Structures are given as structure tokens and as C-alpha cells.
Amino acid sequence: MAKSSNSVLVVLAFFAIYFIWGSTYLLNKIAVMELEPFMLASCRFTVAGLCIFILAKIMGISLSITKKQLINSVLAGILFLSVGNGLVVWALRYVDTGFAALEISSQPLIILLMMRILQGKKIQPMSVVGVVLGIVGIYLLVSQKQIIAQEESIVGMAMIFFCMLCWAYASLFVAKADLPTNYFVNTGYQMFFAGLILSLMSLGFGEEWSSPLAWSGDVQISMLLLIFFGSILAFTSFNYLLKTVSPEKVATSTYVNPIVALLLGWYFLDEQITLQSILAAAILLTGVYFINTKKTLAIFERFKR
């Protein structure tokens, strides 16, 4: 009976990291077309962080943290969520959800190259193949006429690329940083402080804040789904899977998320899926498959959302 229950949990957890994480692009796109991007991200992560703290208390998990761990958690939160996710949300005003998801799926390529540049790590032969395929896939993705012709799309692409650089550097930083050992507490601090930083960024850019009561029904639902499913449930499912199945199986979300984002954007937002996008996706995701070695799986997957 216990084994059967565990099997059900594994299936539900995979559903969460496949489809819930894949749907966050759509949910952010719906919300950012009405709300200011940094305000949106600030509300999401501040509330999610507070909810995690409350859940930790209910579960009897200590929230104690050293000064060093607090500083590192704040830095990681800024790089991963304040700059990383915040700018992605902003970029979704200018690019389609599927395009954003595909560009972000090349994150392992950026991490691998940064490990080579900053740490002198050798790139394995299979990973070299992955890098070449990844570069070809990205070129096909961004060289489409309808994208090059739109200045706003180029701005969105540049924003996402900068986010990927931040994520890559943050991944290497977190791998060696002194952080709370409990992943739930660690995530709570990162989300909470990232939310506070995002609120300051929002004020600095002069964004207009609005009451949740003034939001449309679609935006209210999107925000709730982002907080409780995209931030809390999916992340918990991810960490559960890391302890239950192999990292390689968990990393399959890298290949599924962009496909989910493409289909949802096409179905709900009438976003166009071109033949070149499909070809770029196939080549890019094949490259990611070659790059996803055991050494880079954990640091990429842990903080990519």
C-alpha cells in the first residue's frame, strides 16, 4: 500500500514540474499585460515566502538562520528571482510565452560555458556537441523575420539573455555558498527577500501599484496559481522528486516545459508556432539533452523557476 501511495505521489509530482512550471509562462503573460512587471513578481514572491514560513512553523521546521546564511540567501534571491524572474516577467510583454520558454531552456549551455570561463572546468565531448547544437538552435529561434523586424522583441530577447547570465552565475555561487540546510527554509528566505527587493525596484522604476481587488478575474486567478502552485507546490514537488528518483528523470522537465508553454500560448493567446520555431526547438532541446550531465543537472534545476 505504501509503495502504491509513493507511486501516486511521484506521478503527481512529475505533473507539477512538467505542466505547472510549463504553465507559469502563460500565467505571467496574462498578469503582466495588466500589471506592472516588478509589482507582479514582488507580490508573487513576497506572499509565497510568507506562506512557506507559515507552513514551516506548522510543520515544526526551525526558521533560525545565521547572518552569513541570511546574506547569501538575499544575494541568491536577488540574482535568481529579483533580477532573473523579474526581468523575464517584464520581457513577456515583448515576446511570446513559447519563445521565452525555449530561450530559457538553453540555460544549461550558459552554465556550462560560465563554468569553463570562471572555473576552468573542462567541457566533455558530448557537452561540446550539445553546445554546438544549442548555438544553432538559438540562432534559428532568434533569426526569424517576425522577431528581427520588431524592436520590442529584440529588447525582450536581450532581457531574457541577461537573466540567463544572472541565473548561471547565481547557480555557481549557490553551489558553494553557506545556505540554510533545509531547502524549504532556504527557499522561503530567498523568495521573501527577493519580493522585498522587487518592490524597491518597482518603486524605483515608478511603477503604479494597484489593489488586488481592482485586478481582473483572470489576473487574480493567475496570481493565485503562480503563488500557490507555481512557487510553492511545484518547488516542493521538485525537491521531493530529487530524493525519490534519479536527477536525470527530474531534468526531463527541461524538455517538457517549453512544449507546454508553446501549446498553452498557442491555445489561449493565439501565439503563432512557426515551422522554424519547431525546428529550433528540436535542435535546441537535443543540445540541452547532450549538455545535461550529472554535474550540471542539480545546480540548474534547483533554481530555474
**What's the domain count of the chain?**
1
DSSP letter string, 232-265: IIHHHHHHHHHHHS-HHHHTTHHHHHHHHHHHHH
Low-confidence ranges of the chain (pLDDT < 50): 1, 295, 297-305
Cα–Cα distance measured from residue 208 to residue 205, given in angstroms and rounded to the nearest whole number: 9
Q: What is the pLDDT of residue 248?
A: 60
CA of residue 242 relative to chain centroid, distance: 17
- In the chain, the DSSP E strands lie at none
Cα–Cα distance measured from residue 183 to residue 205, given in angstroms and rounded to the nearest whole number: 32
Backbone angles phi, psi at 145, to 5 degrees: -60, -40
Q: What is the pLDDT of residue 254?
A: 76
Q: pLDDT tens digits for 38-49?
A: 999 999 999 999
Q: What is the pLDDT of residue 130?
A: 87
pTM of the model: 0.86
Q: Domain span at residue 274?
A: 2-303
Q: What is the pLDDT of residue 256?
A: 86
Cα–Cα distance measured from residue 204 to residue 202, given in angstroms and rounded to the nearest whole number: 5
Backbone angles phi, psi at 62, to 5 degrees: -70, 140
- For 95-156, give the secondary structure using H, E and C: CCHHHHHHHHCCHHHHHHHHHHHHHCCCCCHHHHHHHHHHHHHHHHHHCCHHHHCCHHHHHH
Q: What is the pLDDT of residue 303?
A: 42
CB 191 within 8 A of CB 52: yes
Q: What is the pLDDT of residue 302?
A: 47
Measured from the Cβ of residue 125, the count of other Cβ atoms closer than 10 Å reads 9
Q: pLDDT tens digits for 207-246?
A: 999 999 999 999 999 999 999 999 988 877 876 786 788 6
Q: What is the pLDDT of residue 109?
A: 83
Backbone angles phi, psi at 196, to 5 degrees: -65, -45
Cα–Cα distance measured from residue 182 to residue 211, given in angstroms and rounded to the nearest whole number: 34
